[in-house]
Structures are given as structure tokens and as C-alpha cells.
Structure 1
Amino acid sequence: MMLPTDPRRAVPDHVPETARPLGDRVLRLGRIAWAVVGIAAAGLVVYTAASTLSGVVVPLVVAAVLGILLQPAVDRLERAGLRRGLGAAAVLVVLAAVLGVAVWVTVVGVVEQSTEIADRLTRGLATLQEELAGTSLDVSGIDLGSATSALSGGLASLFGSVFSSAAAFLVGTFVAVFFLFYVMADWPRIEAFVARYASLGATSGRDVVDQATTTLRRYFGAMSVSNLLAAALIAVAAVVLGVPLAVSIALVTFVTSYVPFLGAIFSGAFAVLIALGSRGPTEALVLLGVILVMQNVVQTLVLTKLSSDRLRLHPIVNLGSTVVGTVLAGLLGAMLSAPVTVMLRDVVGHLRRRPDHDDAPGPSGADAPSDPPDQAPARDGAPRSEG
């Protein structure tokens, strides 16, 4: 027998919005508005706290991303018979060795070329003053000595802040190394813990975590391929032009390409200065043209093609997310904007997905069917046994 329904009971969700009483619609809109305000306030608090602690938060975020990207290497070592802690330590040692060699090769090469680069720049500036003398762009009145003194004074005044920033960077790096080690070593437990609370809609937490990590790996894999291609082509151009330190130029181009916009400017200036100091202005201009084509055309097209295919992300959305990420979180936001956008899109998709009919919980209480179980219709048209 049917239980009497309470007229004060809320209207079921499947009833269209226009068929709901006005009071229910106003109440629903009010709840949505307060939810939006609460989410915005929580986001503001998190953003303010992250900005205040950026010296520690940024290295930790970078370490977490590196841990997710390098975790498959630890898995392979574990399958080969090495314990996860030792495997994580081995990956850290290899990573530190690669970074150390890259920095050493680059710094030594730049130091060896520094005198020649300075001489070339001085002669170039003198030639520019002679060419522009008597024109509206005359720069002969500029006192290089005064400018150098002012620059030196400015650098001296900034020494304290630079030292404190360097100290904060070293502390953040030290903490990030330990965090990276434990992310790689304890990834199975971390993944299980996050998956326990990450279920969205009809999607299990394990699937949500797997999809997010796959998105990160696919995006940075596509970026690595495009960066490697651009760095290799620029190094080949440097060798053809007779510019020294082609390996250093390729390393700097590859590493800085992970930072949108500023990375290309830094690596381009680095390569052009070496070409100017070693070969002269003609070779420097030719190499600059090659760099502009490689980083702004070839690299962009390759990254757009790979990221669009692997992440189903439209180039316009990719560019817009990069701009928004840069405004909100600086260089870190620019680096992670595309994968975070894909993750948010996947979250919305999980929340919109409805559970299957077989997996939906059965009605209970006032919504329970009044028919006895033995008179319920058989599923899929199959006759019900009378046993």
C-alpha cells in the first residue's frame, strides 16, 4: 500500500524548473548564489595564502608535477626488483646529475665568451652612435659612464633583496627535493588516498586521478617533443653559422621553452649574444631570424597539433588559458594553464554524467513501489520464474 506523501516534501529534481512553485525556485536560486559566493571566497583565500607563501608553494607545486611525471620511471625500477625508496633516490640522483652537467656546460661556455661578448657590444654601441649622429635618434649625448654608475648603484641597492630571494629559493628548493622524493616513493598510497575522496558523479575517484595524471603526462610529453625539435633545429643553425656553444644554446632553449613567452625571450637573447660575440652582427641577425621562426612558428604548430590531438584542446582555448594563468599565477600559471583547463573540463563532464540505471540506488520510503516484489515486471522482457 502506498504511504501518504508529505505535501511539504521537496519537489523531485526531475520536475522542470518552470513547473516548480515560485518559492522553491527562489530558494534554489538563493542556494546557488550562496554556493557561488562561498566558492569565490574560498578561492580568494587560497589565492591570497598561495601568493603570500609563493616562495614555498611554487617549488612544492613544481615538485608535485615532477613527481607525477617521473613516477613511471620509479615503477619500472620497482618492477625490475628495486624498492620504491631506492628507485626514487636513483631517479633524483640522475635528475640532479643531468641538471648539474647542463648548468656547468652552459656557465663555463658563457664565462669563456663573456669578454668577447662585452667587446662586441661596446663596439656595436659605438657604431650605432656614429650612424645615428645628427639625426632625431641621436644617442651620442648619452653618458655611458653615468649610466653604468647608476646601474651599479641600482644593483647594489638591490643586493639585499636579491640575496633574500636567493635564500628563499634555496630553502624552497631544499624542501621541494624532499617532497619530490616522497611523492615518487609513496605514490601508490598518495594515489589511493586522493582517489578515496575524488569521486565525481558516476566516475570513481581512481578514474578521476588516472585521467588527471594522464593529462599532465600527455601535455608535458607534447611540450617536450616540440621543445626538443626547436632546440635541435636552432643548434643545427648555430653549427652551420659557426657559432660556438651550440650544445649550450640547445640546452637553454629546451629548458626555458617550458616557460611560455619569457623562456623564448631569454633563450633567444642568450643565443644572439653568443653569436654576436663570436661571429659578428650578420651571423647574429641570421640566427635571430632562425630562432624567431623555430619558436614562434614551428614549435607553436607542433605543440598545438600534439596538444590538440592528445588533449582535445582547441588552440584558442589553449592561448586564452595561458593568458588567464599568467595573470592569476605568473609563470607557474602559464606553464600549467593548459592541463588545468583540461582537468576542469573533465571535472564538469564527470559531474554532468548520470549514473547508469542499474547502478542507481533503488527508491525507498515514500517513493517505494506499492507492487509486491513477485508482481514487478521482469527486466529486459525476460519471464520471471515463479519458483
Structure 2
Amino acid sequence: MGSQPFPLRRPMTKQASETTTLPPWARRAVLSLLVGIAGLWYLRGVVSALRPLLMVLLVSLFLSFALEPAVNRLERRGMRRGPGTFLVLAIMVGALGGFGIQVGSLLAEQVTDFSENVPSYLAEIDSWLEDSFGIEHATADLRSEYDSGALAKRLSEVAEDLARFGTTVVNVLFNLFTVGLFTFYLVAEGPKLRRIICSFLPERHQRHVLEVWDLAIEKTGGYILSRSLLALASSLVHWAAFEAIGLPSSLALALWVGVMSQFVPVVGTYIAGALPLVTALLGDPADALWVMAAVAAYQQVENYLLAPRITAHTMQLHVAVAFGAVIAGSAVLGVVGALLALPAAATIQSVIAAEAERHEVVEHLIAESSLRRGHGERPPSD
């Protein structure tokens, strides 16, 4: 039986060829899509490469907002804007450098004392466990590791690192020269910069830009002012308390508590109280109870007496809004975002409050809503 040959494909007619050919606009659309995707990919790489610079500009912008009220005050007193900006920046850098050196020296001292007194601490723990629970030689492994020199070596390395902490802070401040330079020019040339920006905008947009700019300066400056006043009050009160308790390096510990509790959002209070608590535990555990009592008592006074009065004149921000802003800022920009979240949220809130239209609340509708939920009294019928 012979094989049946395959049928030959029929030649494509001109009409069928025209129907399967892509129209010219489709080719252009596909090409534009590919070029757009490639451009976005390249732009993503550029933004990623410029991320450090953008972070520097963002930090510099908020620093300029925070420093401009002080520079404006010096300018009104007769000092030129350039020297006034330099003076304010020098004071800020000196304060941060002094704080870093004080705290770094304190941490190095505490770690060194701890490493030297490890045997006595282990002996006290062994004695307490044996007397309380009948457990003998509970810290034998740690004692042997310390006697061999391994633990002491680790602790000495940590102490050496902490001893360089204060110097490292100063070096980092100098390495952040770019931030200082941008901040200096943003503050010193602030009026000129605003004039240049407004020259590209119509009059109605100029008004909005200047209002938002002024709000940002007011809220950021108010945030720094309120936090600084609260930090000063906290440092003074804790200094007196730590002196009365008898803690070593009471001034450095008080500065730590004041600065960390005010300028580190959400968890700053807990971080601030940890260092004096550990310092007290290394000396006398009974002092740790007094430290906890002092920190907790002042926190209540600050929350219900000092903070409402100070922030009422500087920056009002709901606790839930502040907490959400810190979470969002840390998710987007990390530590920098968490630190800048509160003044940014206050500025956005003020802009919305200024621009949004408000209406009078209809009270009887609120009363009816409460009644439907089982709260309140029935409104009187007409």
C-alpha cells in the first residue's frame, strides 16, 4: 500500500495576509511600552543610587525647618543671616558632640567595671541560688570561661569599642558635613530660595507654597522646641533624683534619660530608663527600685502636667496619629523616617486642617446615632 502524500499548504491570499499583519499603531504601542519599562527600570536604578543623597536632602530640609526660627530671631536682633546660621549650627553640633562623649564615656566605664567585678557577681548569684533553691555551682561554666580569659577578653573588647563611642559620634558629625552644608545653605539662603521657587508659579500657587512652607517651619520648630524643653526638664529632675539615690555619673545618666525619652519616638522612654536601671543593678539592687520609682513618677508628671502645657503652644498631635506616623516613617526610611515622622505628620495635619472645608455638626443626628447603638437618651420629639 503506497503512502499518501501530505497535502500541500495552500498559499496565503493577499486578503488573509493583510488581516494577520499588525497595524502600525500596535507596533508603536509595543515599542513605547518596552521603552517605558526600560526607562522605569533605569529610573529605579538611578533613584536607588541617589538614595543616600535624597536622604541627606530630606534630613537637611527638616533641619533647616527646625533651625530657621532661631536664625530668624537672631536676624531680627541685628545679626546677619549667614553668621546667625553658622552660630546656631555650631551650638547644635557642640551639644550633640558633648552628649555623645558623655554617654560614651559612661558606657565604657560601666562595661569596664562590670568586666572587673564578674567573679564577685557570679559568687553572689551562686550564693543566692544555693540559699534560695538549693542549686549548687549554677555558674560554674561561666566561671570557668572567665577564668580561662575568654569572657574577660570579650568584655574588654566591648569596653574598648564603647570607649571609642564618644569619639565616633564626633567623627560621624564631621562625616555628615554634607548634611550641615545643605542645611546651612537652606537656612541662610531660605528667603532667596523661596523667592526663586515662587518665580516659577502663578500667584494662587505661590500663596499655597508659602503657607505650607511657613507651616512646616512652625511645626518642625515647635516640635524641636517642645522636645528640647521637656528634655531639659527631664534631665534636671533625673539629675537631682540620681544624685539623691547615689548613682555614679548622675549627670551623664540624666542627660541620657532626657534626650532619649524625648527624641526617640515610641520606645524612647524604655531605652532611656534601661541604662540607669542597669547601672543601679551593678551597684546595689535596692537602688534599682528607687530608679524605677523615680523614672515612673516623673513620667506621670510629664504626661499629665508638663507635656500638655508645653505642646499646647508648639505642636498638638494625637497619640494614635503619632504612633502611626512613626511606624510609617520607619517602614519607608528606617531610623531617619521614624525621627522625622512626627514633625512631618504635624505639618500634614496642619495643611489638611487649613485647606479642608469644615461643616457644623448636626447634634440631633449624633443623638439618634447614639440611641441606635444603645447609648444616650431619646431626643425630645417636636
Q: TM-score, normalised by structure 2?
A: 0.62
Q: 1:338 to 1:106 in 2, by over 3 A?
A: closer
- Residue 268 in 1 paired to residue 273 in 2? yes
State the Cα deviation string for residues 331-358 of structure 1 (Å, max 9, x = none): 222222232223333444556459xxxx
Distance in 1 between residues matched to 2:63 and 2:202, nearest whole Å: 21
SS in 1 for 2:222: helix
5+ residue gaps, structure 1: 1-40, 355-387
- Residue 174 in 1 paired to residue 177 in 2? yes
Larger Rg: 2
Q: What amino acid maps onto 2:61 in structure 1?
A: A
The corresponding residue for 1:89 is 86
SS in 1 for 2:236: helix
Alignment counterpart, residue 232 of structure 2, candidates 217, 228, 231: 228
5+ residue gaps, structure 2: 1-39, 359-382
The corresponding residue for 1:376 is none
SS in 2 for 1:244: coil
Alignment counterpart, residue 288 of structure 1, candidates 292, 301, 305: 292
CA RMSD in angstroms, aligned pairs only: 4.4
Distance in 2 between residues matched to 1:137 and 1:327, nearest whole Å: 46
Q: What amino acid maps onto 1:247 in structure 2?
A: L
The corresponding residue for 2:317 is 313
Contact kept? 1:192, 1:206, Cα under 8 Å = no
Query: Cα offset for 1:240?
Result: 0.8
Distance in 2 between residues matched to 1:305 and 1:49, nearest whole Å: 43
Q: 1:153 to 1:244 in 2, by over 3 A?
A: closer
Trace 1:358-369 onto structure 2 (pairs within 5 A). none
Contact kept? 1:117, 1:274, Cα under 8 Å = no
Query: Cα offset for 1:268?
Result: 2.5
Q: What amino acid maps onto 1:275 in structure 2?
A: A
Distance in 2 between residues matched to 1:256 and 1:267, nearest whole Å: 5
Q: Once structures 1 and 2 are overlaid, which stretch shifts more, 169-178 or 184-193?
A: 169-178
The corresponding residue for 2:189 is 186
Query: Cα offset for 1:168?
Result: 10
The corresponding residue for 1:340 is 344
* Equivalent pairs, count: 302
Alignment counterpart, residue 332 of structure 2, candidates 328, 331, 335: 328
Alignment counterpart, residue 72 of structure 1, candidates 69, 74, 83: 69
Query: Cα offset for 1:81?
Result: 3.2
- Residue 259 in 1 paired to residue 256 in 2? no
Percentage identity across paired residues of the two chains: 25
Query: Cα offset for 1:238?
Result: 0.4
Query: Cα offset for 1:205?
Result: 1.8
SS in 2 for 1:248: helix
Distance in 1 between residues matched to 2:204 and 2:129, nearest whole Å: 66
Q: What amino acid maps onto 1:241 in structure 2?
A: I
Q: What amino acid maps onto 1:179 in structure 2?
A: F
SS in 1 for 2:176: helix
State the Cα deviation string for residues 27-46 of structure 1 (Å, max 9, x = none): xxxxxxxxxxxxxx9xx969
Q: Once structures 1 and 2 are overlaid, which stretch shifts more, 114-123 or 194-203?
A: 194-203
Q: What amino acid maps onto 1:131 in structure 2?
A: W
Contact kept? 1:241, 1:283, Cα under 8 Å = yes
Q: TM-score, normalised by structure 1?
A: 0.62
Q: 1:59 to 1:212 in 2, by over 3 A?
A: same
Distance in 1 between residues matched to 2:100 and 2:152, nearest whole Å: 30
Contact kept? 2:62, 2:340, Cα under 8 Å = no
Q: What amino acid maps onto 1:180 in structure 2?
A: T
Trace 1:197-212 onto structure 2 (pairs within 5 A). 204-212=208-216
Query: Cα offset for 1:261?
Result: 4.4
Query: Cα offset for 1:224?
Result: 2.2
Contact kept? 1:227, 1:299, Cα under 8 Å = no
In the TM superposition, structure 1's runs of 4+ consecutive aligned residues that sit over 6 Å from their partners are 152-155, 165-168, 198-202
Contact kept? 1:198, 1:209, Cα under 8 Å = no
Query: Cα offset for 1:330?
Result: 2.6
Query: Cα offset for 1:315?
Result: 2.0
Alignment counterpart, residue 51 of structure 2, candidates 50, 53, 57: 53
